[in-house]
Amino acid sequence: GEDVEQSLFLSVREGDSSVINCTYTDSSSTYLYWYKQEPGAGLQLLTYIFSNMDMKQDQRLTVLLNKKDKHLSLRIADTQTGDSAIYFCAESPAASGGSYIPTFGRGTSLIVHP
Amino acid sequence: DTEVTQTPKHLVMGMTNKKSLKCEQHMGHRAMYWYKQKAKKPPELMFVYSYEKLSINESVPSRFSPECPNSSLLNLHLHALQPEDSALYLCASGQEARALHFGNGTRLTVT
Q: What is the pLDDT along chain B (111 residues), one digit of tens a residue?
A: 569 999 999 999 999 999 999 999 999 999 999 999 999 899 999 999 999 999 999 999 999 999 999 999 999 999 999 999 999 999 999 986 568 999 999 999 999
pLDDT of A98 > 90? The answer is: no
**pLDDT at A30 (0 to 100):** 83
For residue B87, the chain A residues in CB contact (below 8 A) are none
Predicted confidence band at A92 (pLDDT cuts at 50, 70, 90)? confident
Chain A residues within 8 A of B48 when measuring between CB atoms: 99, 101
Select the residue from B102, B107, B108 to test the A interface by mutation, using most A Cβ atoms within 10 A: B102
- Give dist(CA A45, CA A36) in Å, integer: 6
* C-alpha to C-alpha distance for B108 and B111, rounded to whole angstroms: 10
Residue type, position A39, single letter: P
pLDDT at A93 (0 to 100): 76
Has residue A96 got a pLDDT over 60? no
- Residue B95's pLDDT is 81
Across chain A, what does the average pLDDT equal? Answer: 90
Q: How far apart are CA A44 and CA B40, in angstroms?
A: 16
**With 0-12 CB in 10 A as exposed, 13-18 as middle and 19+ as buried, what is A79?**
buried
Name the residue in chain B with its Cα closest to that of A87: B42
> Which of helix, strand or coil describes residue A87?
strand
